Amino acid sequence: MIKRFVLRFDAKREAMRAAFRAKRPDGYEDIVRSVVEALQDDDDYRDCPDPSRIHRIDDGDYQGTLFFAIGATGYQPFTYFCVLVAYGSCSGCDAFQDIRGYGDEPPTEDEVSGYMNLALGIVQRMKMISLYSEEENGTGGAA
């Protein structure tokens, strides 16, 4: 867990809630994008995931694991962030499908809370991979 990201997420929790109230996410990638957007901080000199550099790998079929690799901000990043998200084939085995309502009406408060729980899990599981020291992850990188 990257502590500074959890703090940013907490600080932007209400803005994320408002965004989920305004528009239902279409899938896990929308939730990952919302988390990455919430992690932006113009005052932070350290690497931050870039919402325009989200790459998704899905080797599953009806169920599986999504791997999101997110490049850091800046020119030709040497730091990436990653997160795994498991999905299922139905609302009984897939958290997103279990939460998501349908229709044109706005999301319910239960849906919004569910999206927020998914988002919290994403920020808590996010890891950093870098060519340089990885202070938050407790591992050293190659120079």
Q: What own/partner pairs with CB < 8 Å and gap ≥ 24 does 89-98 have?
A: 89/62, 89/63, 93/63, 94/63, 96/25, 96/27, 96/28, 96/31
Domain boundaries, the chain: 3-130
Mean pLDDT, 10 residues at a time, the chain of 143 residues: 93 96 93 96 76 94 93 90 93 88 84 96 96 57 43
Residue-level pLDDT at 104:
76
Residue-level pLDDT at 62:
85
The C-alpha atoms of residue 25 and residue 14 are separated, in whole angstroms, by: 16
The C-alpha atoms of residue 8 and residue 115 are separated, in whole angstroms, by: 17
Residue-level pLDDT at 138:
46
Residue-level pLDDT at 43:
67
Residue-level pLDDT at 141:
44
